[in-house]
Amino acid sequence: MPQQNCALAFMAHPDDAEFTCAGTLARLRREHGWRVAMATMTPGDCGSADLRPDEISRLRLEEARKSAGILEAEFHCAGLRDLFIFYDRDALQRTTEIVRRAKPDLVITHSPEDYMVDHEMTSTLVRAACFGAPMPNFPTESAPPAERIPAVPYLYYADAVEGRDILGRPVEPTTLIDITSVMAVKERMLSCHASQRDWLKRHHGIDEYVESMRRWMAMRGKAVGVQYAEAFRQHRGHGYPSDDLLAALLHNTTPPQPG
């Protein structure tokens, strides 16, 4: 029996995947029977103004596992700490080990330029791990280590938060996926992260946790004539697959062309 295809969403914190790409994961699972894996760099230990880091970490990991369970997805955490995600030996080995455990055909991570450095560092680490995970001479320090994967997986960058870079300029996607049919699933998954509604309101000035996500997806959908869409850019650098697998599987909604 051939191995089941796998999509891995590897983000910085619990709830990042739910905001950016859970609808696409749901469609891959529902329509093509893909296995789904979800991973975070940290347990979200800074995501509370009231709970201690160990307390909020336990709570947020529980929320992440509950959300992942909606897609029958496996969940991994690299065990780094909020605001201390750095590109170094330890972080890259942890990231690569998770990629090897998941055995993904397709990986989604953060935009290379996003509103916070944790997202940007995660994007860089996941990009490097996808490239290194097939290398027989690149070790991790897990005991026992996962086996290397057979090839560099497809790599996609999720939309920068609210579709803009850190200077407020629009980020133009290469691939837009209609998620209207699975929007209720995406909302259920995001709603699992109940601890974050108050935190985002107090620290980020974002109220209506789910509603803010819905507006973002509607903005992307409106540009291409659907109710809700998730936006991506594909990494097409040397050594990475360059054909648009997401578009082929989920019927890419063509982004508007400049000019």
Structural domain spans, the chain: 6-236
Contacts of 150 (CB under 8 A, 6+ apart): 134
Dihedral sign, Cα of residue 171, residue 177, residue 182, residue 188:
negative
The predicted pLDDT at position 45 comes to 95
Phi, psi of 215 (to 5 degrees): -65, -40
In the sheet with 154-158, reading across from the earlier edge strand, the strands are: 74-77, 35-40, 6-11, 106-109, 154-158, 229-234, 175-178
The predicted pLDDT at position 259 comes to 41
Q: Which residues face 108 on adjacent strands?
A: 9, 156
Cβ–Cβ under 8 Å, residues 78 and 44 = no
CATH number belonging to domain 6-236: 3.40.50.10320
The predicted pLDDT at position 65 comes to 98
pTM: 0.93
Averaged in consecutive runs of 10 residues, what is the pLDDT profile of the chain (259 residues)? Answer: 83 97 98 98 90 95 98 98 98 98 98 96 98 97 94 97 90 95 96 79 61 92 94 96 96 57
The predicted pLDDT at position 48 comes to 83
Cβ count near 244 (within 10 Å): 16
**What does the alpha-carbon distance between residue 61 and residue 40 come to, in Å, rounded to a whole number?**
10
